[in-house]
Amino acid sequence: MLLHICCAPCSPHVINVLKTDFELTLYFYNPNIHPEREYRARLGEAKKLADIEDILLVEGEYRPREWLEETRQWKDEPERGRRCEFCIGQRLSETARMAGEMGIKRFGTVLSLSRLKSAIMINSMGQKAQEAFAEKGIVFHLADWKKKEGFNISAKISGTLGFVRQDYCGCAYGRRNAKKKAGSAGQPV
Ligand code: SF4
């Protein structure tokens, strides 16, 4: 399975569950992350986790300027709105495309681990990506990883490994909104 990951803190529990049934490859494709130093930090921790798990990690293209242009029309949308639908849909579509290129028949994502994200929306975007690459016979792995204490389990493992969970999802808009909230205290994503 090609597993899309957004950051190290969201991933350990998901990897632990999936690796019992699948041979995993991790795909770090997140053109949404802003600023670039945050992208590098999240990628660095993801690589550290991949090393610990002895799993191959593939880095996707980082194209933040294009991403900002593509999403500017939804800059004032709340989290879980149309901007997030586009952002998640695009990352899953690219994951499906890459799975096809690599000859991998299943793809999934850790994104539903976040308490602030709708698993219904993520699964729907995953199924659309599956349909778009139907000729390759690639299947999206439906999941809601926050369930059954998934978020807490991942947070505990991440704490042990010293990974840092940021107080915003990843993009410039989410960062701005997190800063506006409660004197920038934000909340875990
Ligand atoms: S809040 Fe998160 S999911 Fe929504 S657009 Fe920003 S990075 Fe993407």
Rounded to whole angstroms, how far apart are CA atoms 175 and 183? 13
pLDDT number for residue 182 = 59
- Determine the atom of ligand 1 nearest the C-alpha atom of 84: 4
> In angstroms, rounded to a whole number, what is the distance separating the alpha carbons of residues 165 and 50?
17
- What are 143's two structure tokens? 């999941």
All residue ranges of the chain with pLDDT < 70 are 182-189
In a domain, 131, yes or no: yes
Give me ligand 1 centre to Cα 22, in Å: 28
Distances (CA, A) of 60 to 32, 89, 131, 161, 167: 12, 15, 21, 24, 23
Residue nearest to atom 4 of ligand 1 (CA): 84
Instruction: Give bridge partners of residue 58 from the DSSP assignment.
Output: 27
Determine, yes or no, domain membership for 61. Answer: yes
109: in domain: yes
Give the binding-site residues of ligand 1, using a 6 Å CB cut-off: 32, 79, 83-84, 87-88, 169-171, 173-174
Residue 20 sits in which domain range?
2-184
CATH number at residue 58: 3.40.50.620
List, for residues 80-109, the tens digit of each pLDDT value: 999 999 999 999 999 999 999 999 999 999
DSSP-assigned states of every residue in 143-161: --TTTTTHHHHHHHHHHHH
Give me the number of domains the chain comprises: 1
pLDDT at site 187: 47
Residue 114, helix vs strand vs coil: coil
Mutate to test the pocket of ligand 1, among 84, 92, 94, 116 (most ligand atoms within 8 A of CB): 84
Residue 23 within a domain: yes
For residue 189, tell me if it sits in a domain. no
Give the number of residues written for the chain: 189
Q: Report the pLDDT value the prediction gives residue 189, as an integer from 0 to 100.
A: 47
Q: Is 174 a domain residue?
A: yes
| Centroid of ligand 1 to alpha carbon of 84 (angstroms) | 5
In terms of phi and psi (left: phi > 0; alpha: psi -120 to 50; beta: otherwise), the region of 71 is alpha
pTM: 0.94
Say what the pLDDT of residue 126 is: 98
